[in-house]
Amino acid sequence: MGYYDSVDFDNTDFRKEPHKYKVGRGEQGVLMVEPYKGEILPNWRFKTPDIAQESADTIYQQYCDYKKNDDFVGMDMARKFLQMGYTRARRYANYPGGKKYDKNGDLNERDIDQTKAKSAEIFEEKWITVREDEEYLKKKKAHQKKYG
């Protein structure tokens, strides 16, 4: 039984019970951890570079607010949404409609959409800022040491 099988995501408030939160890999769990999903998801958009910039700036500000409130789980969730903004925008930049594979499971041809590529760059910049933040790294290490 793995971590995602053992936690009742529907009934857990991770702000009140941060000990139940596991950092995970990449974007793992990004759409499951409340109340953060509900706070960050409404701001997550990447259709155009202008929309992506507003979104990335807003999510980064949420990251800063979580950091100011010593809320590592919120910080990590904001990091995950910034990472997901990059990966999803990159997918749509590379493949029309974001479809990497056709209905037969074969890889579609890449057709680079420069607009989506710019959106991806915007999210990537903020994501890198967060993942390299000394305070984030320190809090991440402490959370993993304390809670696994």
| Per-residue confidence (pLDDT) for residue 24, from 0 to 100 | 85
List phi, psi (to 5°) of 21: -85, 130
Contact 73, 21 (CB under 8 A): yes
CB 81 within 8 A of CB 40: yes
- Computed over every residue of the chain, the mean pLDDT equals 93
Spatial distance between the Cα atoms of 123 and 57, rounded to a whole number of angstroms: 9
Is the pLDDT at 111 greater than 90? The verdict is no
Torsion sign over Cα 132, 78, 61, 113: positive
Q: Where are the domains of the chain?
A: 45-147
Predicted confidence (pLDDT) per residue in 89-109, tens digit: 999 999 988 899 999 999 988
Cβ–Cβ < 8 Å for 77, 44: no
Higher pLDDT, 85 or 99: 85
CA 76 vs CA 47, 81, 88, 89, 124: distances in Å: 24, 9, 18, 20, 15
Backbone angles phi, psi at 37, to 5 degrees: -55, -45
DSSP assignment string, 51-66? HHHHHHHHHHHHHHHH
pLDDT above 90: percentage of residues in the chain: 82
Q: Average pLDDT, stretch 69-91?
A: 98
